[in-house]
Amino acid sequence: MLQKARKFCTVLFSRKIVLVSALVILFFAICAIASPLMAPCDPYEQDLSRRLEGVSSEHWLGTDQLGRDLYSRIVYGSRVAFMVGILAVIAAAVMGCAIGLVSGYFGGWVDQVLMRLMEAQMSIPPLILALALVAVFGRSIPMLIFVLGVSAIPNFARMMRGQVLSVREMDYVAASRIRGNSNTATMVRHILPNCISPIIVIMTQSIGGSILAEASMSFLGAGIVPPTASWGAMVNDGYSYIYDAPLFALAPGVAIILLVLAFNIFGDGLRDALDPRLRGAL
Amino acid sequence: MGENLLELRGLQTVFHTREGLVRAVDDVSLSVQPGEIIGIVGESGSGKSVSMMSMIKLISMPPGEIVKGEAIFEGQDILRYEQKSPELQRIRGGGISMIFQEPMTSLNPVMTIGQQIEESILLHLKYTKAQARARAIELLGMVGIPDPESRIDHYPNQFSGGMRQRVMIAMAISCNPKLLIADEATTALDVTTQEQILNLLRDIVRQTNMALIIITHNLSIIARYAQRIYVMYAGNIAEQGRSEELFYHPSHPYTMGLLRAIPRLDSDKSARLLSIPGAPLNPAQKTGCCPFAPRCPYAVDRCRQPVMPTPQIYSDTHRAACWFRREELHGGLALEKAHTHPVADKPLLEVRQLCKYFPVTKGITRRKVGDVKALDHVSFTIRQGETFGLVGESGCGKTTLAKTLLRLYDATSGEIIFKGQNIAPLKERHLRELRREVQFIFQDPYGSLDPRQTAGNVVGEAVRVHHLAKTRKEYERRIDELFTAVGLDPALKNRAPHEFSGGQRQRLCIASALASDPSFIICDEPISALDVSIQSQILNLLIDLQAERNLTYLFIAHDLSVVRHVSDRIMVMYLGTVMEIAPWQDLYEHPLHPYTKALLSAIPVPDPVVEANRPSAPIIGEVPSLINRPSGCVFHNRCPYATERCKKEFPPLQEVNEDHIVACFEWEKLI
Amino acid sequence: MGRFILKRLWQTLIILLLVSVVAFMLIQFIPGDPVYVMLGENISKEYHDTVYESMGLNQPLTTQYFNWLGNMLRGDMGYSYHFRKNVNQLIASRLPVTLTLGIISAVVSVVLGVFFGAVTAVKRGTATDTTLTVLANIGLATPSFWIAVLLVYIFSVKLGWLPAVGFTLPWVNFQKSIRQMILPVICMSMGGVASYTRQMRSSMLEVIHQDYVRTARSKGLPENKVIWRYAVKNSLIPILTMASTTLRGCIGGSAIIETMFNIVGMGQIMVIAINYCDYQLLQSSLFFMAGITCLCNLIVDIAYAYADPRIRLE
């Protein structure tokens, strides 16, 4: 088992860029877990006399409109990005896979209804849907996770359905029934495990998108409630002061790009490592 | 001997892969004369296709690289030219054409076949568009496509596999090439279609003086068509010679092994098939010695030194890459007597009037508009301890029958009486005993093993499901036993299925089928996905297991010579109906149904003299799709003896004698 | 083919029906009295009751739904209390803005993305490939609002070349329109270009290994024709299915970009409708936009079937 894991890691990290992206993710993860250690200042401490300052030894990236240390706020912002990004994807995957599983396994009218429902959802732009849901259910971090999760359901449902449909037709599934396994046992023992790995890949690849969605929501003022630090909200705050302090709006965005890029590349790496057929087709 | 059209000298092609350098083609030399048909035979990975494709640089480079060699075609070395050079582009299609294995994917699905053929013509010949179209229509007619004027504007997916292969041929010969290479061109086709396509190619060669290279893994095909043969193994030419030389005096241990490993239509059934041990060498593992040495029964130390053997020369045309002359090779390959198995008179399985229809629906309301009759009133009996063979081409209902017997499909009507009980109407929860008693071996050893389970788990699953082992220890012992029974090392049981070779995987499948101690096993084309040299290993294993464990087999295959080798009685099916049931000798010596006769004559025998003297009675057309099933006798539209009555009435099964049953009105007149 | 269109049409109708239910039910979950939520607590009781009645809120839920759906089908999309205008008028004035931006962005995404994707696939492994692939990955990871901030900072604040706000329809004042559109279009199409580049690249690489491409080479077709006539053409078919996603993305993205560049379009309307709980505006514009997306999906599906004879001739 250990040997297998090691072999897998060798393949996964055989491309330098995947290793680098893993390190970037690790760095941000440390920022999120140990924010007080990584941030030089208190991200909530206001000092109105020192608003919108530039780069200095005290404030590495300057201060915001309330005189708070920008660098520290970016460090703390990684908490929201990670929490919302990852949990929203997990929520989406759980709900989506359940729908996809039911749809693909039972087929018939259940499948028809569920798939039309998914298409119905997909005909509404996800950002608008998320905004509307937030308007209805209110603003809070758990709600944001739920809302972003819901808007990503169709991807997982469709993916899972396709997987189930193709795996269901495999000979080894018929073989399992011939050996006397019940439908449930076949499902649990042979169909599910073979559907999982592409789902894990899609999940990793979706985290980046989910972080972007959180940033967009916060940017539009429908995400994280201030004063909690969120990268998207910081860009929005900074946009008003673009003439005086360009770094205020631009720096949090760089953090978003780095983390999202790292997750996307890591996801691609994972896909290539799990599916040798796709290797190099990035 | 005349001037060579093509002379390949010392070709070496390698691939740079993760696993290292793969020497796919290693010092291959061959020659072809105008109007000649030569064959290149070899198993997967033998380099037979790669050598031909490197010649016109159709391999992807990188990772491929042509290290050295010359290919003199019409006096010029074409290997000099760059992959994308206009000179080579003129030769491809214009001088040397190729036909590939997969007719379903080898044509561009979004262009009409006319556009694709005309494209070729306009590239190489100075034709106007209208002339090109006229020529395309003429070619389509020539390769036997009915109504070419209207069919020319159809897309590839509107043609059957055999028809697409005809289109490919029309395209390949459109610019009058000097050399045509058919790369496993008929492997994916039905036997009767295969015969038609190969006959077509031979006729074209005779008419145009074009040379033809047939690349195949099937020695029997070669015997019927090729004048000279090259046998390849792991990137090297093992033996070459004229057909008769090769078939009557095989001089390389590999060729000898191959010839005795394949069951033939005229071979002695009581003798055990000879099998070559081990699996074909992966060219990545070549060490520079004779590549066949690890599997060769005659190998001595000298064969394992990293020097290639100097060929033994037997005639101008016949040579074998072996250190020994064939006279020196003896012993080690003695024929053994095959195991015999007792057949009881008691029926194990009786199938009566079994039907399986799949509904055809139409429109958004899914209104049922008809049935696809995959099985139509099928009746037969399998006796305890016998091997019941089932042959037929695609769409004959072989696999549907197997799945219905296993109750993976519900029968539309009819009875399946297994050990005295009708299992057709049983509910799933009452099938437990059936699930233990009846097992299945799949065609594809790659798809039938769950990739996420270890080999031991796969084999042991049935033991767990049916609670056949009381303790952990007993369970493990049982698995070890099963591994040993199928000739696998029990130490391998913790490996994942993908770490096994194709032949080993099929052994795993057999072990997992044996796990529940069944009395009846359905084998659905169990060897057709395997390499030729592995096939006999699996066949022998199945025969041995039957004798040891008193098993009854339903053996399904499309290859009549294989079915003949293992079966006691044989049933021939066509489009979901039974055509003929007979003991094997009767079926092969006195076939009654015209379809059986046609099938038999379509199977080539690996013996050029026998082939030359066999009457050929090719049937016309291809197997229709089940949706367009003909009325009356389903075979009437391809049958040379069909009468008006055959078109209207369905011929019932008639008993000719006790064991021989045929569904034909005219059988008495045809004897 | 006719049957295929009919089937898709039927499915689209069902989808629209489902969307209408979703859009309608969504509003019902907003806590509190809808009129107070919408107009604030400090309105008179009489005014509240008039509005309450005129919106039909005193009727049973199903009646409300069928009334609304009936009105929608008749082309009456209701009244916006925030804008104090008919929703029809609002949409009529703002839809052209969003559609212009959306269509231009979608076209830019497809054209550039397909081109870059084809180039990277053909030049696989070269510096061009690496550069473009890296850029595409960055583009996919960059939030559109951030690129907007960056571009505004560079081109408006520092260089002063392009305006940071406003929008004019091209047929009103062409030159001004172009100047105002450059930045929003770049921001809206960046993600699309990036994802088309990646998709096209992997699609091309897959097609290049297909048997029929080998057949084309084996008959001596020059490489550039193999690429254009076979690889690119066949790779475009799966790309086509992405086209509807792009439009959906552009409409969703317009919410952000229109807010940032202060463009008076549909995206902005929807954000406002959500923020001010403008019931009928929200319901109707959601349904309307979903309808447009469905229509585009339908067109794409038909185009897909037309482009691929395997589906057309099924």
Residues C192 and C290 occupy one common structural domain: no
Kindly state the tokens that stand for C131. Answer: 């550069």
* Subunit contact C137:A264, Cβ cutoff 8 A: yes
Distance from CA of A117 to the nearest CA of B (A): 18
Q: A2-43+53-280 adopts what CATH topology?
A: MetI-like fold (1.10.3720)
Measured between beta carbons, which residues in chain C are less than 8 angstroms from residue A249?
146, 149, 153
Going by the DSSP 8-state scheme, the letter that residue B211 receives in this structure is: E
- Same domain, yes or no: C129 and C216: yes
Chain C closest-CA separation from residue A105 CA (Å)? 21
Residue C91 in any domain: the answer is no
Higher-scoring residue by pLDDT: B367, A228: A228
Looking at CA atoms only, how far is residue A103 from chain B in angstroms?
19
Give the residue among A238, A186, A233, A240 at the shortest CA–CA distance from A214: A233
Q: In the prediction, which pLDDT does B2 show?
A: 62
Mutate to test the interface with A, among B427, B452, B512, B520 (most CBs of A within 10 A): B452
For residue B298, pLDDT over 60 is answered with yes
Separation between Cα atoms, residue B638 and residue C14, nearest integer Å? 48
Range of the domain at C304: 1-82+276-314
- CB atoms inside a 10 Å sphere around CB C229: 17
| B106/C307 CB distance under 8 A | no
Q: With contacts defined as CB-CB under 8 Å, which chain A residues touch C290?
A: 120, 123-124
pLDDT, position C39 = 78
Q: Which residue of A has its CA nearest to C199?
A: A282
Q: Do C9 and A114 form a contact (C-beta atoms < 8 A)? A: no
Return the number of other C-beta atoms located less than 10 Å from residue A200's C-beta.
Answer: 14
CA distance A29 to B68: 54
Q: Which domains can be identified in chain B, with CATH numbers?
A: 6-95+175-329 (3.40.50.300), 347-670 (3.40.50.300)
Closest residue to C157, CB basis, from A220, A242, A278: A242
Name which of B162, B228, B183, B176 is nearest B58 in CA terms.
B183
Q: Does the pLDDT at position B170 exceed 80?
A: yes
Average of per-residue pLDDT across A41-55 = 76
What pLDDT is stored for residue C265 in this prediction?
86
C105 and C7 part of one domain:
no
Query: What's the CA gap between C184 and C169, in Å, rounded?
Result: 13
Cα separation, B10 vs B7, in Å, equals 10
CA distance B361 to B401: 22
C308–B109: do the CB atoms touch at under 8 Å? yes
Distance CA(C30)–CA(C36), nearest Å, equals: 11
Q: How confident is the model at residue B616 (pLDDT cuts 50, 70, 90)?
A: low
B203 pLDDT exceeds 70? yes
CATH number at residue C248: 1.10.3720.10
**C219 to chain B: which residues are within 8 Å by CB?**
92-93, 97, 119-120, 123, 171-172, 175
Strands (E), C60-169: 79-80, 85-86
Instruction: Provide the strand spans (E) within B190-258.
Output: 211-216, 228-233, 236-242
Whether B447 has its CB under 8 Å from any CB of chain A: the answer is: yes
Neighbors of chain A by Cβ distance (3+ pairs < 8 Å): B, C
| CA B28 remoteness from chain centre | 26
DSSP single-letter state for residue C162: S
Report pLDDT for B378.
Answer: 92
What's the mean per-residue pLDDT of chain B?
88
Across the interface, whether the CB atoms of B448 and A171 are under 8 A apart is answered yes
Q: How far apart are CA C227 and CA C222, in angstroms?
A: 9
CB contact under 8 A, C255 and A131: yes
How many of the other CB atoms lie within 10 Å of CB of B473? 9
Residues 6+ apart with CB under 8 A from C249: A125, C191, C192
Q: Which chains touch C (3 or more CB pairs under 8 A)?
A: A, B
- Give yes or no for B640 touching A (CB within 8 A): no
pLDDT attached to residue A279: 40
The fraction of chain B above a pLDDT of 90, given in percent, is 37
| Alpha carbon separation from B465 to B277, B460, B505, B590, C211 (Å, rounded) | 34, 9, 21, 46, 43
The minimum CA-CA distance between C54 and chain A, rounded to whole Å, is: 22
Instruction: Report helix, strand or coil for B522.
Output: strand
Helix-, strand-, coil-residue percentages of chain A, each rounded to 5:
75, 0, 25
Contacts of A190 in chain B (CB under 8 A): 450, 453
- The yes-or-no verdict on residue A116 having pLDDT over 50 is yes
How far is residue B41's CA from residue B152's CA, in Å, rounded to a whole number?
34
Closest CA to B599 of B572, B577, B626, B632: B572
Alpha-carbon distance of A156 to A97, in angstroms, equals 6
pLDDT, one tens digit per residue, over C73-92 is 888 888 888 888 888 888 88
* Spatial separation of the C-alpha atoms in residues C162 and C182, rounded to whole Å: 8
Same domain membership, residue C228 and residue C137: yes
Q: pLDDT: is B628 or B30 the higher one?
A: B30
Across the interface, of A174, A180, A193, the residue whose CB is closest to B436 is A180
Candidates B220, B221, B217, B177; CA nearest to B197 is B221
* B39 min Cα distance to partner chain A (Å): 32
Percent of chain B with pLDDT over 70: 97
Integer CA distances (angstroms), B355 to B372, B410, B577, B646, in order = 11, 10, 9, 21
Instruction: Report the residue of chain A nearest B438, measured CA to CA.
Output: A178
Confidence label for B172 from pLDDT (cuts 50, 70 and 90): very high
Find the radius of gyration of the CA atoms of chain B: 26
Report the residue from B439, B449, B450 with minimal CB separation from A178.
B439
- Answer whether residue B332 shows pLDDT above 60: no
Considering only alpha carbons, which residue of chain C is nearest residue A265? C137
Which DSSP string corresponds to B41-89?
E--TTSSHHHHHHHHTT-S-TTTEEEEEEEEEETTEEGGGS-TT-HHHH
Q: What pLDDT does residue A278 have?
A: 44
* Residue B625 at interface with chain C, using a CB cutoff of 8 Å: no
Which residues does chain C have within 8 Å of residue A246's beta carbon, measured at their own beta carbons?
A: 153, 157
For B59, residues 6+ apart whose C-beta sits below 8 A from its C-beta are: B13, B50, B53
User: What gap in Å lies between CA C3 and CA B229, rounded to an integer?
Assistant: 53
* Residue the block writes with tokens 């050029």: B608
With bands split at pLDDT 50, 70 and 90, how would you rate the model's confidence at A14? confident
Q: Which among B84, B91, B364 is the nearest to C7, CB-wise?
A: B364
pLDDT at B353 over 70: yes
Question: Is C7 contained in some domain?
Answer: yes
| C283 lies in the same domain as C174 | no
Looking at chain C, which residue has its C-alpha nearest residue B171? C219
pLDDT at res. A281: 35
Give the closest-approach CA distance of B550 to chain A in angstroms: 20
- Give the SS3 label for residue B22: strand
Residues in a beta bridge with C56? none
Residue B533 DSSP SS3: helix
Residue C84 vs residues C39, C68, C166, C248: alpha-carbon distances, Å? 11, 19, 23, 28
Identify whether residues C265 and C292 lie together within a single domain. no
Closest C-alpha to B314, from B231, B236, B246: B246
> Residue B463 is encoded by which pair of tokens?
């033991």
Instruction: Tokens for B153, please give them.
Output: 């504007």
- 3-state helix, strand, coil split of chain B in percent (to 5) is 35, 25, 40
Within its chain, how far is the Cα of A162 from the centroid?
Answer: 22
What does pTM read for this prediction? Answer: 0.83
* Cis peptide preceding B103, ω within 30 of 0: no
CB atoms within 10 A of CB B655: 10
Q: How high is the pLDDT of residue B363?
A: 61
User: Do B665 and B643 contact (CB within 8 A), yes or no?
Assistant: yes
Q: Is the pLDDT of residue B193 over 90?
A: no
Peptide bond just before A226 cis, omega within 30 deg: no
Q: What is the predicted pLDDT for the residue at A36?
A: 84
> Where along chain A do its domains lie?
2-43+53-280
Query: Does any domain span residue C70?
Result: yes
Question: Which DSSP symbol is given to A63?
Answer: B
Residue C300 located in a structural domain:
yes
Collapsing DSSP states into helix, strand and coil, what is residue B618?
coil
Asked if C234's CB is within 8 angstroms of B110's CB, the reply is: yes
CB contact under 8 A, A208 and C14: no
Cα distance from A179 to chain B (closest Cα, Å)? 5
Q: What contacts C203, CB < 8 A, 6 or more positions away?
A: C117, C235, C238, C239
Asked if B440 and A176 come within 8 Å (Cβ–Cβ), the reply is no
Residues of C in contact with A135 (CB under 8 A): 30, 274-275, 277
Interface contact A178-B403, CB threshold 8 A: no
Is residue A214 within 8 A of residue A148, CB to CB? The reply is yes
pLDDT band, residue A48 (cuts 50/70/90) = confident
* Position with higher pLDDT, B245 vs B275: B245
Confidence of residue A282 (pLDDT cuts 50, 70, 90): very low
Burial class (CB in 10 A: 0-12, 13-18, 19+), B492: middle
Beta-carbon separation of B168 and C210 below 8 A: no
CB distance B462–A170 less than 8 Å? no
In this predicted structure, what is the pLDDT of residue A1?
Answer: 61
Residue B161 has pLDDT above 90, yes or no: no
Residue with the larger pLDDT of the pair B581 and C37: B581
Q: Are residues C59 and C181 in the same domain?
A: no
Domains in chain C, number: 2
DSSP secondary-structure letter at B360? E
> Does residue B270 carry a pLDDT above 70?
yes
Low-confidence ranges of chain C (pLDDT < 70): 1, 313-314
Tokens read off for A194: 């073979």
B80-138 residue pLDDT tens: 898 888 889 999 988 999 999 888 889 998 899 999 999 999 999 989 999 999 999 99
Residue B598, pLDDT above cutoff 60? yes
Cα(B531)–Cα(B217) distance, integer angstroms: 8
**A176 at the B interface (CB within 8 A)?**
yes
3-state secondary structure at position B99: strand
Beta strands B64-73 and B76-77: pairing type? antiparallel
Q: C251 at the A interface (CB within 8 A)? A: yes
> CB distance from B462 to chain A under 8 Å?
yes
Each residue of A160-214: pLDDT tens digit?
A: 998 888 888 888 998 998 888 888 888 888 888 888 888 888 888 889 889 988 8
Query: What pLDDT is recorded for position B278?
Result: 83
